[in-house]
Amino acid sequence: MPSVPSSYCVAATPNNLQPVSRDSQRSAPLRVAANQYAMKYVLIIPDGAADEPQDSLGNRTPLQAAQTPAMDAVAQMGSVGQADNVPLNMTPGSDVGTMSLFGYDPHRFHTGRAPLEAAAQGIELGPDDWAVRCNLVTVADGVMKSFTAGQIPSELGKELIGLMQAETSGDAHWKFHTGVSYRNLLLYRANGTSAPLSVETQTFPPHDITDKPIAGFLPQGPGADVLNRLMDRSAELFATSPPNCERITRGELPATQVWLWGEGCRPALTPFAERFGVRAGVITAVDLLRGIGRLLGWGIIEVPGATGYLDTDYAAKARYAIEALGELDFVVVHVEATDEASHEGDAAAKVEALERIDEDIVAPVHAWLKQQGDYRLLVSPDHPTLLRTKTHSHGYVPFAACGRDIDADVAQTYDEVTAADASAIKFDAGCDLMPWFLSRGERGA
C-alpha cells in the first residue's frame, strides 16, 4: 500500500503547488486507510458555531435558525453525530479544539496556544524556549473593554510592540515579535537557562473576560511577576504614544496595554501524512490554525480576502479549496466569522455567517466533490462559543459527514438538537473523530 513520505508536505496556493521538505517529529504512528484510491477529503470548520437556543431566534440555536440547505444535505446523505473536542480539565479554545478535531489528543500533544502561533510566523523554538501570546487590549476603569483594542490596525500595533521590544532590548531572554493587528507574541529564549514559566503558570484569555474586571484574571504562579511587570509597563508606554492617543480623539478604542497569556513550550506533533497517509492543506486567516498546519506538515493555502472576521471572502475560500484539491488529498477550510459573532454577542451576525458558509463554501465544495469521484466531506465546529457569555465553552459539538461508505441515518437537518437526538454516534474524545472519518470506506476493511 503506497503512502506519502513523512518528510513531504505541500506549500499550496492555487497556481503553485510544490513539494517542499520538512523535518518530521517522529513517534509511534496511528495507521488508518492510506489514500490509494484518489479519495478526496474535506473538513469545513464553522469555528464556534455550536451554541444554545436564543430567545432572539425563537428559542432556536443559530444553526437551527440559519437557512443551511447545503449542510442539511450533508446530514441527509450521511451521518450526524457529536464530538467533545475540549477535555474538561483544559481551557476551551481553538488551540485545544482544533488539535482534537484534527485527530491529536490534546492531553498528549498540547503545550499552549502561543507556540502554535509562533510556528505560524515561522519562529523556531528551542527545546527550552517558551512563547506567550501578546494581545493589544483596551482596559478602562479596570474592566476589559476590548480584547482586540478595537481591531487595532497592524501599523499601530507594530509601533506599540516596538515600544515593548525597545524596553526589553537589553534582555538576553525576553523578545517581543509583531504579528497582525492585536495578535502578537512574547518569546523567552532560554540560552542555556531555565525559563521562569512552567506548567504551573496560569494565564487567562482576554476574550473570555470581556466586560469583566481584570483584577481576578492576572497571571498567576511561576513567572507571573515578570508577566505582570511587563503588562504594567506597557500601560505606561502606550499612554504616551501619540498615534495611540489620537484614536481616542477619533472616537476609536486605544490599546491601553498588552495582555500576556497562552504560554507554552515547543510541541512535538507527529506529521499528519505519517499518521493518516494523506497530503493535506489548510485555508484559514487565523495564525493559530496556520501554526498547527505547519507543525503537522500541511500546506498553508493563502486566500486573498480571507480576514478572520465577518467580512471574510467566503466564496474565495471555496474556490481555492477546490483548486488545491487537484493536488492534495485533504483540505481543511476554517472560517472564524461564526466565532467572532459570538464574541460580540451578535446572534443575527452569527446566523448570517452560517448562511454564507453554507451557500458560498459548503454548497460549491460539495458539488465539486460529487462530480470528481470518491470523496468524504465533514462539517464540524471545534468548540461551542456561546452568545450568552461571549466566550468559548466546553461541550459537545454537532458534526455531519457524508461520502463513500458513510451510511445515511434518519437526520434531516444539521444542528445541535438533531445531532443529540437522532444519532448514536458520539465521540467522548473528539480526537477519535478524524480517524473515524478518514478510515471509513477503506476497501477490504
pLDDT reading at 242 higher than 80: yes
Q: How far apart are CA 391 and CA 393, in angstroms?
A: 6
Grid cell in block for residue 140:
478602562
Per residue in 296-323, pLDDT tens? 999 999 999 999 889 999 999 999 999 9
Give the bridge partners for 397, in sequence order.
Answer: 83
Contacts of 152 (CB under 8 A, 6+ apart): 136, 181, 182, 247, 253, 255
- The Cβ of residue 29 has, within 10 Å, a number of other Cβ atoms equal to 15
Which of 267, 278, 294 has its CA nearest to residue 22? 294
Q: Report the pLDDT value the prediction gives residue 170, as an integer from 0 to 100.
A: 83
Contacts of 439 (CB under 8 A, 6+ apart): 32, 33, 445
Angle at 309 between CA 210 and CA 147, to 5 degrees: 20
Q: Are 71 and 423 in contact, with CB atoms under 8 Å apart?
A: no
Got the DSSP string for 241-271?
-HHHHHHHHTT-----EEEEEEEEE---PPP
Got the DSSP string for 314-371?
HHHHHHHHHHHTTT-SEEEEEE-HHHHHHHTT-HHHHHHHHHHHIIIIIHHHHHHHHH
Euclidean distance between the first and final Cα of the chain, in Å? Answer: 14
Angle at 428 between CA 58 and CA 113, to 5 degrees: 85
Q: Report the pLDDT value the prediction gives residue 443, as an integer from 0 to 100.
A: 31
Q: Are 133 and 260 in contact, with CB atoms under 8 Å apart?
A: yes
Q: How far apart are CA 68 and CA 70, in angstroms?
A: 6
| SS3 state at 119 | helix
Question: Per-residue confidence at 14, pLDDT binned at 50, 70, 90?
Answer: very low
Q: How far apart are CA 123 and CA 117, in angstroms?
A: 9
Per residue in 71-81, pLDDT tens? 999 999 999 99
Pairing relation of β-strands 79-83 and 397-403? Answer: antiparallel
Question: Per-residue confidence at 5, pLDDT binned at 50, 70, 90?
Answer: very low
Question: Per-residue confidence at 85, pLDDT binned at 50, 70, 90?
Answer: very high
Q: Report the pLDDT value the prediction gives residue 152, as an integer from 0 to 100.
A: 96
pLDDT > 70: percent of the chain: 90
Mean pLDDT, rounded, for 34-40: 61
Q: Report the pLDDT value the prediction gives residue 38, as an integer from 0 to 100.
A: 80
Q: Report the pLDDT value the prediction gives residue 177, as an integer from 0 to 100.
A: 95
Contacts of 355 (CB under 8 A, 6+ apart): 66, 67, 68
Q: Which residue is it, cell 494565564?
A: 203
Q: How far apart are CA 331 and CA 334, in angstroms?
A: 10
Q: How far apart are CA 407 and CA 388, in angstroms?
A: 36
Q: Report the pLDDT value the prediction gives residue 422, as an integer from 0 to 100.
A: 83
pLDDT reading at 347 higher than 70: yes
List Cα–Cα distances, 210 to 67, 263, 390, in angstroms. 30, 20, 8
Q: Are 383 and 392 in contact, with CB atoms under 8 Å apart?
A: yes
Average pLDDT, the chain: 90
Mean pLDDT, rounded, for 96-116: 96
Question: Per-residue confidence at 423, pLDDT binned at 50, 70, 90?
Answer: confident
pLDDT reading at 219 higher than 90: yes
Per residue in 392-407, pLDDT tens? 999 999 999 999 999 9
Q: Are 121 and 154 in contact, with CB atoms under 8 Å apart?
A: no
Question: Per-residue confidence at 440, pLDDT binned at 50, 70, 90?
Answer: low
Grid cell in block for residue 136:
493589544
- The Cβ of residue 202 has, within 10 Å, a number of other Cβ atoms equal to 15
Q: How far apart are CA 267 and CA 295, in angstroms?
A: 8
Please, is 283 exposed, middle or buried when counting C-beta atoms within 10 Å of its C-beta (0-12, 13-18, 19+)? buried
Contacts of 246 (CB under 8 A, 6+ apart): none
| Boundaries of every domain in the chain | 8-108+268-439, 130-265
Q: Which residue has the higher pLDDT, 169 or 270?
A: 270
| SS3 state at 306 | coil
Question: Per-residue confidence at 340, pLDDT binned at 50, 70, 90?
Answer: very high
Its sign, for the CA torsion 189, 194, 196, 199, is positive
Q: How far apart are CA 207 and CA 211, in angstroms?
A: 10
Question: Per-residue confidence at 260, pLDDT binned at 50, 70, 90?
Answer: very high
- The Cβ of residue 127 has, within 10 Å, a number of other Cβ atoms equal to 8
Q: Report the pLDDT value the prediction gives residue 75, as an integer from 0 to 100.
A: 97
Q: How far apart are CA 93 and CA 394, in angstroms?
A: 9
What does the longest C-alpha to C-alpha distance in the chain come to? 69
CB-side neighbour CA atoms (13 Å) of 364: 16
Class of CATH domain 8-108+268-439 = alpha beta
Q: Report the pLDDT value the prediction gives residue 439, as an integer from 0 to 100.
A: 87
pLDDT reading at 26 higher than 90: no
Instruction: State residue 187 phi and psi, 5-degree precision.
Output: -110, 145
In the chain, the amino acid numbered 241 is S
Q: How far apart are CA 384 and CA 284, in angstroms?
A: 19
